[in-house]
Structure 1
Amino acid sequence: MEALIAIAIGSLTASGVYLMLRQRTFPVIIGLTLLSYAVNVFIFAAGRIVPGLPAIIAKDAAGYTDPLPQALVLTAIVISFGMTAVIVLMALGSWLEAGHDKVDMDEEEETRA
């Protein structure tokens, strides 16, 4: 199970980095989203979630699960959603102003603009 989670985190990270190196805005946005998913899975897996145990300390429970990684992942999900919305709006504004969605521009294009 640990190997499966490690493979999932590695493939999400590799896909995210590959997409961030593209020269179009949509793959960059998807790459950032995949990287945030990889970080969320990593934090969640690092928390050693134990099925069947409560997240709070109870007198009758045999143990408890640390609630901090769960809270961190929930906060990271909300922040990544907001970050994705802002980046999508910036990309849309850039596309409406420039007429294309390239991330990098050549020096010749900069002097024409």
Structure 2
Amino acid sequence: MRYPPLQAIDLVTESAETDGGYSNIVVNRVNRHCLRLAVFEGDYPWHHHPTSDELFLVVEGCLRIDLADGRTLRLEPWQAATVPAAMVHRTRTEGRAVNLSFEELAADTVFVDAPAG
């Protein structure tokens, strides 16, 4: 955990200090769950979290969440969506994107091959 309880967290500064590539940090936790800040460009590999839902909240840019069944969710700033536990998905961006995600702190990430099709 990057910040202890009762400390203000400047997420704008945190996201501005990330330069290209991929960054996903746990900024704080609440009970058994955590708040992550992700800043990246491009595609994240196909994966799933066997026991944890994952909520995405976009704060900058555009985030696409591709699902194994062929659907794609497109999230713009201040839009959110939850991917249920065990659902295979990947995230990808159109340029730089910043999102917050909420999931179990101990959530496993299982990487998988891209779905056929």
TM-score, with structure 1 as normaliser: 0.22
Q: Which has the higher contact order (CA 8 A, sep 6+)?
A: 2
* Greater C-alpha radius of gyration: 1
The structure richer in helix per residue is 1
TM-score, with structure 2 as normaliser: 0.21
